[in-house]
Structure 1
């Protein structure tokens, strides 16, 4: 190949010799020169540091789960495909909390309800179907997650004011819910934005019922969860925060339970109110004691008498 050659351009700067690198903040390319019928050389940009197209596995697609009410009605729940907050699962705690409300509808009927770390929002949605006066469904303010929660709300025809559709979109002017809204909330952050959903009077008092379903495995967030409970739970004798969970890592169950030790230290009254053993673990291949993996327990946090007296309750 008499006229074929490869030319590599170099530059010298500050007494350093290096291959000519083009930078555009996120990408580095080298200039390669190949023979060309017209000009003998042709420059081609090659990304030196790009990962192969199939280097990272694709993000899992969204999924759906269903919940059947005691009346045989089916609630379809959409889940994000993947979430660092584990919102892509429908946890057993959510199912048990929803069933507990169905068995005891007076717990939520005509009351204001706030769910933290809701994921699919099942317990909050069931509370809305049972006649809760106002329900606020919250989780980390990720746009996809918030929109998925809205989709579940709008798709549930059992909620007053909703004409549910197959894809969960609003159905015309009357498709919006009357008693339930969705919002993003970071535990421990200012709770004013969710309290505003209660109106002028309600935001000064707080919510009658709080729901924390399968959140305790996040041990470093226990303090932030309790801060949000303190800021949002109405100071009333009837007010309750329901904490329902499974120890999905049985060897760390003692760390899950430290949430209640911390709650007691902060003055809350803590009482265990339910225990349910599922037919099988949510994740059947998980290591550890199978009985613990199958067991869901439910607890109540309430205000102590001294706090109620201070507030004239």
Structure 2
């Protein structure tokens, strides 16, 4: 310990100003997504475990994920027999829907933090039958970094090793990361066959809505075709938050394709 840690009387200051004990980490929570197609007997629900608390917001099942799950369930042609990548997956509900509905291979990624990655792996084990788990990968990944480790997770095939569908669920509020996300999409998405990026989000902070939408401005500047394909209302995630409730209650879904 350095001399700066001791006062003139020789008393260790840490004895006088002890740090209060930290509160225990909250326990994980569970949310259940129930399929909106009760006549389909393939599967009925997906149980999502969420980390108890996390600075990267992985402890919420966002409305955008619910809208995404329903949309993907209604549009299996986007991914059946194809390869799917989810970025910033959190509880990974959209990616799990694609896996359960016949994607060839699904890779679920989030920031390389053990709590987040272990939780995604738990959700895979809870919801994907053992015989199908080899077709689902879980990986830590930072947006904008080289995508080769993600491409190497795909099975060998006769065509281009790349993703046919990339899922971005409630990520555009990360304004400083727009370019990084787009870079990953450019480099990981298939170029020799039709491929799509789906971006679902809510303007949780209505006063920053214009900045959220800069993601699509930047995408168009990089020669992406951007089309809004869905709006859906939910109870707002945080009713006490400021800003127009109608805005905070609406999920927007966008489709991006390369020219």
> TM-score, normalised on structure 2?
0.90
2:146 corresponds to: 190
Aligned residues: 250
2:213 corresponds to: 257
Q: Is the 8 A contact 2:172 2:178 kept in 1?
A: yes
Greater mean alpha carbon deviation, residues 125-134 or residues 234-243? 234-243
Which of 31, 35, 38 aligns to 1:65? It is 31
Q: Does 1:52 align with 2:7?
A: no
1:281 corresponds to: 236
Give distance in 2, aligned partners of 1:205 and 1:183: 17
Which of 87, 90, 103 aligns to 2:58? It is 87
2:115 corresponds to: 144
**Structure number with bigger Rg:** 1
Q: Does 1:178 align with 2:134?
A: yes
Q: 1:203 to 1:119 in 2, by over 3 A?
A: farther
Deviation at 1:200, TM superposition (A): 4.5
**Secondary structure at the counterpart of residue 197 of structure 1:** coil
| Structure 2 spans left out of the alignment, 5+ residues | 39-43
The structure, 1 or 2, with the larger RCO (C-alpha pairs under 8 Å, 6+ apart) is: 2
Which of 64, 70, 89 aligns to 1:99? It is 70
Give distance in 1, aligned partners of 2:170 and 2:243: 18
Give distance in 1, aligned partners of 2:53 and 2:31: 15
1:115 corresponds to: 86
Give distance in 1, aligned partners of 2:15 and 2:150: 47
1:308 corresponds to: none
Q: Please list the CA deviations of residues 6-28 of structure 1 after superposition, one character each: whole Å capped at 9, or x if unmatched.
A: xxxxxxx9xxx83336xxxxxxx
User: Please, what is the CA RMSD of the aligned residues?
Assistant: 2.1
2:9 corresponds to: 19
Give distance in 2, aligned partners of 1:200 and 1:238: 19
| Structure 1 spans left out of the alignment, 5+ residues | 1-12, 22-28, 31-45, 164-173, 305-313
Q: Is the 8 A contact 1:205 1:235 kept in 2?
A: no
Give distance in 1, aligned partners of 2:72 and 2:33: 13
**Secondary structure at the counterpart of residue 172 of structure 2:** coil
Q: Please list the CA deviations of residues 157-186 of structure 1 after superposition, one character each: whole Å capped at 9, or x if unmatched.
A: xx3xx15xxxxxxxxxx5x71311111000
Give distance in 2, aligned partners of 1:289 and 1:256: 16
Q: Is the 8 A contact 2:160 2:192 kept in 1?
A: no
**Secondary structure at the counterpart of residue 87 of structure 1:** coil
Deviation at 1:223, TM superposition (A): 0.8
Q: Is the 8 A contact 1:197 1:203 kept in 2?
A: no
**Secondary structure at the counterpart of residue 155 of structure 2:** helix
1:215 corresponds to: 171
Q: 1:18 to 1:202 in 2, by over 3 A?
A: farther
Deviation at 1:81, TM superposition (A): 1.0
**Secondary structure at the counterpart of residue 183 of structure 1:** strand
Give distance in 2, aligned partners of 1:256 and 1:214: 10
